[in-house]
Amino acid sequence: MRAPPLTRSAAFYDVDGTLIKANIVHAFAWYAAHQPTLGGSLAKTLLTALSVPMFLAADKLSRKAFNELFYRYYKGMSEDRLVLLAEELFDDVIKPSIFPRARDLVEESKRAGCKQVILSGGLDFTVRPLARYLGIDVFLANRLEFSDGYATGRLHKPFIAGATKAEIMRDYAAANDIDLARSWAYSDSYSDYPMLAVVGRPTAVNPDFRLRNVARSYDWPVLDLR
């Protein structure tokens, strides 16, 4: 018997730089400044500032390598505290950085009948309030590994970054009867080219220089949500 045709479409959104101006470094810096003790806050904040050049170099090399390096800085942080403060982080950092037209983009694809999916290299507990605020039910994000209630500095697999986003989208589509050829994807970064290329309707949003050139080459739509 022939399998029924896929009829559902989805809209997949990158977060940092696409829907919001802030990024995972801003989130960590906020947590670093809100350690249980003043000394701990000062030490974490100083370490973050000194590490920025290394973060930039790792990000140019590989988004996956950047994530693996960056999330080591969460080692030793309390799971309860990270989750508890996520709402405050959203109010202080993430919500003010949402691009003015981001909600319009989400509402437009909702009206088109698309399943709404956030696909983020951020941490799940930091992405959850944003997804709720935008009315997006599904969010796929990185997950910190915890041992005895404290972060080990490692991520659970699969890592969500770069090319792995396309693999995760394929798996999600197969499990949820989503037709990727009829689906949309939105990102600002050339590192997300695989994510954009796997759908039939890719869109460059607030694109960096390399992605803007690719979008022009393939006649992809380019949006500015700022």
224 is known as an active-site residue: no
CA 86-44-61 angle, to 5 degrees, is 85
**Residue 115 pairs with which residues in a beta bridge?**
10
Q: Which of 16, 59, 188, 192 is catalytic?
A: 16
14 is catalytic: yes
Residues belonging to the active site: 14, 16
